Amino acid sequence: MLPGIRSSLFAIGLLLLVGCQRASSPADPAAPRTDAQNSPTGTGPTASEVWAKTRAVYREAQSYTDNSTIVEYSVARARGVANRLPYHQLALAFERPDKIYLAYADAVASSAGKTEYRIASDGNIMRSWASEVPLQVHEAIAPRVLTTENFIAEPLLRAELLQVGLENLFPQLALLLTDDPDQPIFPHDHSPRLLREEKLAGRTCFRLQTHSPAGRRVLWIDQENYRLRRMELPIDAEQTALNPDGQFIKFSVWIDFADVCFDAKVQPSSFQLSVPPGGRRVRRFIAPPPPAPTQTSAADRPIGSRHSTHRGRLGSNASGLVAGAGHGKRGHCLVRYRGRPVASLEPAKPSANGSQASSFSKFVVSPPTQKAGSQAAWRHNQALSKFAVNIRNLAQSLRTKYVDGRGSLGLAIY
């Protein structure tokens, strides 16, 4: 983290907002209704009507700000005690047609530090910043109209933030940027229906449930003003990875939306991102060069190896995935993710003329997952899954270089 950057950076409350505390009035998108009218079994609105009104509120908004938190909720089987772990903090400020400020940060720093991303567009210049490359600020001409396709200009940062889909990380932004009422916000979801209403932070909410191959999604929508208050993420398909030992009788992940404010005046400076001291503007993030190899302990050596193992950096980009490549017995390689072995690579046999192999004949990926319940375990496992898929796809294009008789090699992924 750069000096002087604190968690309060992500509080949109620091922005000078006007008019966020307006009381409900006849001009509001929806007037309050009675519980009986809103009952899914009564005469209240249908699931489709609730969703249509919600989409209209966001589509017609001229500006929007919020702070949101991704929360892991679990109940341990042994103790029966509920536990809530916030592990990502997000903030959004938006003003039509071309202004945005978006911030993303880990709630708790890991051994590798805290991952942070920021994006800002003041209508003229769009800038992006990532903690992995703190002295680089990506700069591009701001689009005239922000859409779901252009609000992140830097390609590596876009790939990282949207790997789970915009609708699963910033659903409110998907609602704000989708003008066509017939274009689905959650393209894989189906079978919407209203569940029993519940209160959240003193606000009575519709609970709109949908299903997709990933699992069940539940949207908590304020009955008074049709604003999104919480979204339970569809993680049913990931339960085996997230709760491998069945130690939790309940496990879920949701996004809480706080300080939600529509049509407020946002200071122009809120949509600007400055270049840090000593930093530079770039057209694309450039991964830092790998450090020199260092000696590692015997515990890091490949099984069956009697040679020393060297670990170097496999490469990094804005995704925060950093791995090491080591060698032990001739030509074999271990790939590590944050110091833990996740893959082994076995080189092809030398050719008939005695030249060294230039490709791998065997590639095995076995990423170690973390037990759910730890800080950022869900993000860790999601990142590992993506890492495993990406490294499989890149295996054929990995370049190897044999330096001496020990078979040392270098790898790079960019």
Structure-token pair, residue 140: 């591009």
For residue 43, pLDDT over 50 is answered with yes
Q: What is the pLDDT of residues 325-342, one digit of tens each?
A: 333 444 445 555 445 555
For residue 152, pLDDT over 60 is answered with yes
Together in a domain, 233 and 339? no
Domain boundary among 255, 282, 309: 282
For residue 175, pLDDT over 70 is answered with yes
Together in a domain, 38 and 118? yes
Together in a domain, 21 and 123? yes
What mean pLDDT is predicted for residues 278-285? 96
Contact 240, 52 (CB under 8 A): no
In a domain, 44, yes or no: yes
DSSP, residue by residue, 4-52: T--GGGG-GGGS---STTPPP-TTSSS----HHHH-TTTTS--HHHHHH
In a domain, 27, yes or no: yes
Together in a domain, 362 and 263? no
Q: What is the pLDDT of residues 213-253, one digit of tens each?
A: 999 999 999 999 999 999 999 999 888 888 888 889 999 99
Element (H, E) at 204: strand 203-212
In a domain, 170, yes or no: yes
Sheet with 294-295, edge to edge strand ranges: 294-295, 310-315, 323-327, 333-337, 340-347, 360-365
Nearest to 152 by CA among 2, 288, 285, 62: 285
Together in a domain, 96 and 217? yes
In a domain, 372, yes or no: yes
Together in a domain, 134 and 100? yes
Average pLDDT, the chain: 73
In a domain, 140, yes or no: yes
Together in a domain, 265 and 368? no
Q: For residue 152, give the CATH number of its domain.
A: 2.50.20.10
The pLDDT score that the predictor gives to residue 388 is: 53
In a domain, 406, yes or no: no
Our CA angle for 141, 143, 149, nearest 5°, is 120
Domain boundary among 234, 258, 282: 282
Averaging pLDDT over each range in 26-40, 147-161, 358-372, which range is the top one?
Answer: 147-161
Q: What is the pLDDT of residues 11-28, one digit of tens each?
A: 333 333 334 544 333 333
In a domain, 410, yes or no: no
Residues 6+ apart with CB under 8 A from 22: none
Q: What is the pLDDT of residues 299-333, one digit of tens each?
A: 443 333 333 222 322 233 333 333 333 334 444 45
Domain boundary among 260, 282, 304: 282
Alpha-carbon distance of 23 to 326, in angstroms, equals: 62
Together in a domain, 361 and 386? yes
In a domain, 402, yes or no: no
Together in a domain, 229 and 174? yes
Residues 6+ apart with CB under 8 A from 291: 312, 313
Together in a domain, 389 and 240? no
Q: Domain containing 183: what range?
A: 7-282
The pLDDT score that the predictor gives to residue 370 is: 52
Q: What is the pLDDT of residues 87-113, one digit of tens each?
A: 899 999 999 999 999 999 998 887 778
Domain count for the chain, please give it: 2
Alpha-carbon distance of 391 to 184, in angstroms, equals: 32
Three-class SS state of 57: helix
Q: What is the pLDDT of residues 361-406, one digit of tens each?
A: 444 444 455 555 554 555 555 555 555 555 555 544 443 333 223 3
Together in a domain, 35 and 171? yes
Together in a domain, 239 and 267? yes
Alpha carbon of 40 to those of 37, 44, 45, 231: distances in Å?
8, 7, 8, 19
